[in-house]
Amino acid sequence: MPKVTLTEYECRNDLLPMVCLKCGAIANTTVRRQFSWYPSWVIWLAFLGLMIALVAGVIMTKRMVIESPMCDRHQGHWANRKLWTWLALGFLAVLLIVGIELYSEAHQQQDKDFFATLIWGGGATLLVAWLAFALVLRIGMIKPKIITSQTITLLNIHPEFVRALKQERERDAEAERQSRARRPANKGRNRPSSKNRKNER
């Protein structure tokens, strides 16, 4: 799936085409989503110390809010993934509690050993399964590749949205050119146009 780079100006002024980011259909609504991103080297700082990595993470994390155009079918794109991740974790917690309950109610040492093995072995396996599940859910998710102070690059964007955005930018640039041409030459001050994306790009 293609990626797209949006300017902070476009996001702040809702200049995105009403085309669903996920499927390219006409978007009926926008979903307010705050994206956050930090450079991947921050994670490696954990080898120097967890606090160092945490502090660097807080300093280096960049955020950008986008009123994301979505169709009815995809307006739960992020919320549903979050819900399933937490539900799966909740299910894991319930299994663990049941295991501990069975362990504490077992009378014979043999039974206790069996349940202890089940709790540790099963718990570790399920935790790995949950991590894999959470990762799989993230594969097709619309997420930032990089955020700077001026731009955000999003992954897993439908080509139709990229095309519509390109068209919209070209239309704006053309309108800007025409309004410049109409402006008298002696009043050559650069009045910022509300739709001029390039000035702030």
| Binding interface with Zn ion (CB under 5 A) | 20, 22-23, 25, 71, 74
Nearer to Zn ion, 158 or 169 (CB): 158
According to DSSP, the residues that pair with 146 across neighbouring strands are 153
Residue 25 or residue 119: which is nearer to Zn ion going by CB? Answer: 25
167: phi then psi, degrees, rounded to nearest 5: -60, -45
Cβ distance to Zn ion smaller for residue 21 or 53: 21
Tell me how far, at minimum, the Cβ of 142 lies from Zn ion, in Å: 11
Cβ proximity to Zn ion: between 11 and 157 the closer is 157
CB of 74 to Zn ion, least distance (A): 4
Q: Which residues contact 145 (CB under 8 A, 6 or more apart)?
A: 3, 37, 153, 154, 155
Least Å distance between CB 16 and Zn ion?
A: 14
The beta-carbon contacts of 148-153 under 8 Å, at least 24 apart in sequence, are 148/62, 149/8, 149/62, 150/7, 150/8, 150/200, 150/201, 151/5, 151/6, 151/7, 151/8, 151/201, 152/5, 152/6, 152/8, 152/11, 152/35, 152/37, 152/64, 152/66, 153/3, 153/4, 153/5, 153/6
DSSP state of 118: I
Least distance between Zn ion and beta carbon 184 (Å): 46
Q: Which is nearer to Zn ion, 23 or 46 (CB)?
A: 23
> Cβ closer to Zn ion: 7 or 68?
68
d(CA 168, CA 187): 28
Minimum distance from residue 89 beta carbon to Zn ion (Å): 27
Please state the closest distance from residue 64 (CB atom) to Zn ion, in A.
21
